[in-house]
A and B are shown apart, each in its own frame.
Chain A
Amino acid sequence: MKPNANPGGPSLWMSFRRVFAWFFFLGRKTGKSRVFLLLGLIPVATAVMARIFMPGRAEDVVAVFNEILIVFYVTFDIVILSLFYGTSIVAEETEGRTLSYLTTRPLSKTGIFLGKYAAYVTLMVLMVSASLFFSFFIMNGHRFRDLALYLTFLRYAGALGLGILAYTALFAFLGTFLKRAILVGLLFGFGWENVVQYFPGSTQKLSLVHYMKSLMPRRAAGGPFSILLFRLEPSKPAVAVLMLIVIAAAFVALACWLFRTKEYLYEE
């Protein structure tokens, strides 16, 4: 039998590719992915309900979709998905005690981390995009001939994809050094990210959701308590995109460095 075709050891890219393929395969197999996929069907079902129960009210249907986009996708779905998959990158291997199977293969640790990160991000993007695709086009079915509609969809999908990149990077970073990363992640994702939106000025820029919402349609606030509703002082779209990319890259780089230098002991 031939020896290993690359006796000098794989490059970072090769390690990344191999790990990506393995975890993209594994990720599709687990029952948890099916549960999250089902979660993504809920907005599709609500889209169908909206079309059935709101006939001839196209503008109201669009308003409902915008509500779903912010309330479900931006502030809930991508946060929950990123939290679970992001923290799983390292925690899954240490809790499941399978890390040694990866670290005793000829794979660079950076490649292992990046490959798994990319695999999970790809899975999430596919799940969310599919859900978004169906819910968006069901609710906007009356505008199929409008080219702007497709551009809008791409914009929303791109923004959600960037959000997934950034959130997953942050939670993956937390997962590389915290034992209970998921709890810290929950407090951040559903505590800090919600509360900070009520702060005026630059404080909002200390959250990921601020940049996400800067890329999304604005929700009208009104009534006597509008001052208490979240005050979005949006950043420019280009700045928001750049910030999300920079945040994702920074946390991924930090996480890679930590994963390479830290030793992981299994809990006995």
Chain B
Amino acid sequence: MTAVIETKSLSKWYGNVLGLSDVSLEIESGITGLLGPNGAGKSTFMKIVTGQMKPNIGRVTVAGQDVWNNFRLFSRIGFCPEQDAFYEDVTGWEFLTGLLRLAGYSGAEAAERATRALEIVQLTNDKDRKIRSYSRGMRQRVKFAQAVAHDPDIIILDEPLSGLDPLGKRRLIRLVKDFQSEGKTIIVSSHVLPEIEAMTSRIVMIHQGKILAQGDIHSIRDLIESYPHMISLRCGNPRAVAARFVSDTSILKMSFGPDGRSLVVETHKRDAFFSRLQSVVLEDGIEVEELTSPDDNLQAVFDYLVVK
């Protein structure tokens, strides 16, 4: 698959502060989650990709073209910035239609697109209210609406879920997934890990301006060889299960939960353990209530990579 967005050795300084350091990425169509704590460089990366800033070193291309001062590209790009900033004296309707007119749509088409965008974000009933009277969530939704109203191929969303209530977040996540199924390229940034996990398994982890890891979350986890995998098993007699594995040299550590019904195993050879566990469960007739990998999630992977 050809990369839609490509960066090569991207670096950016703010005076003496390093915003991004040697970031080389190829982003394909679909949803890519950009994950990192506050100040990691996510917004800097997005601003460079959307032509708001120039990199000090390196190159960024979108759809094969340089972005800086290439305004023609922006009919294909939609950007939802992080800042809660608007032209406050206008209504939601005026804001959307105004920006659509700026994008080159006629009055009638701008109205049609604005109506659709407002329906998508469920702001139709409030479209004639001034933006300054909107709640935080409504402001976030109208910001998202302006990013998608012109039906761009590439959507860059900087902390799009910030300020939304749980229902609003769920709706927006569903919307983003719908855009993915339409073949669009979406980059979503967040510092809230479950939000990214809910949208995509393809992530780029960024910390202190550097890329820590990129790819499928599970594959990244598997690549972290220095840390053993944790597997949690819940059953009626965990000690019996433990007894069956105690002589297995691939098991590094076993611990029992305080309720006496769970067993947590740490092992370098996860696949071998699962294979053996299958046999043990069948042979001994053990009723397994729950089987999970507590560290096979974004938080754990991130923590490992940042090395607390």
Contacts and interface: CB of A to CB of B under 8 A. Distances in A.
In the complex, A touching B, CB below 8 Å?
yes
Contacts of A29: 89-90
Interface stretch (A5-13, A55-63, A180-188, A244-252): A5-13
A263 B98 contact: no
A243 B112 CA distance: 48
A1 B112 contact: yes
A21 B101 contact: yes
Interface string B77-113: 1110101011101100010001101111110010011
A241 interface: no
B83 A104 contact: no
B159 to A, nearest CB: 14
B236 to A, nearest CB: 56
B99 A103 contact: no
A5 B106 contact: yes
Contacts of B90: 26, 29
Given A26-B89, A106-B72, A100 B103 contact: no
A21 B83 CA distance: 25
Sorted from nearest, which 3 A-B pairs have the closest CB atoms?
A: A9-B72, A97-B85, A106-B75
Interface of A: 1-10, 14-15, 18-19, 21-22, 25-26, 29-31, 96-109, 260, 263-266
B73 to A, nearest CB: 8
Contact of A104 (B74, B86, B101, B116): B74
10 contacts: A9-B72, A15-B71, A26-B87, A29-B90, A100-B47, A100-B52, A104-B51, A106-B74, A106-B103, A107-B71
B105 A22 contact: no
Most B Cβ at <10 Å: residue of A14, A18, A106: A106
Nearest to B50: A104
B139 interface: no
A195 B151 CA distance: 56
B102 A105 contact: yes
B54 interface: yes
Contacts, number: 99
A100 B79 contact: yes
B220 interface: no
Nearest to B79: A104
Contact of A4 (B53, B81, B89, B103): B103
A263 B54 contact: yes
A2 B89 CA distance: 30
Given A98-B87, A265-B14, A4 B112 contact: no
A105 B105 CA distance: 11
Interface string B218-262: 000000000000000000000000000000000000000000000
Interface size class of B (residues with CB under 8 A): 35 or more
B77 A104 contact: yes
Most B Cβ at <10 Å: residue of A1, A8, A19, A31: A1
Contacts of A2: 109
Interface in B47-82: 47, 50-54, 69, 71-75, 77-79, 81
A1 B75 contact: no
Contacts of B85: 96-98
B150 interface: yes
Interface string B21-59: 000000000000000000000000001001111100000
Contacts of B81: 97, 100
B146 interface: yes
Contact of B104 (A10, A98, A101, A109): A10
Contact of B50 (A4, A18, A100, A265): A100
Contacts of A31: 89
A29 to B, nearest CB: 5
A63 to B, nearest CB: 41
B151 A105 contact: no
Contacts of B89: 26, 29-31
A98 B116 CA distance: 23
Nearest to A25: B98
Contacts of A103: 51-52, 71
A21 B94 CA distance: 13
Interface in B254-274: none
A99 B184 CA distance: 25
B105 A106 contact: no
Most A Cβ at <10 Å: residue of B53, B73, B89: B89
A8 B101 CA distance: 16
A102 B102 contact: yes
A5 B102 contact: no
A18 B100 CA distance: 10
A30 B69 CA distance: 30
Contacts of A107: 71, 74, 102
A99 B50 CA distance: 12
A76 B83 CA distance: 37
A8 B52 CA distance: 21
Nearest to B146: A101
Contact of B151 (A1, A5, A10, A264): A1
B49 to A, nearest CB: 11
A263 B104 contact: no
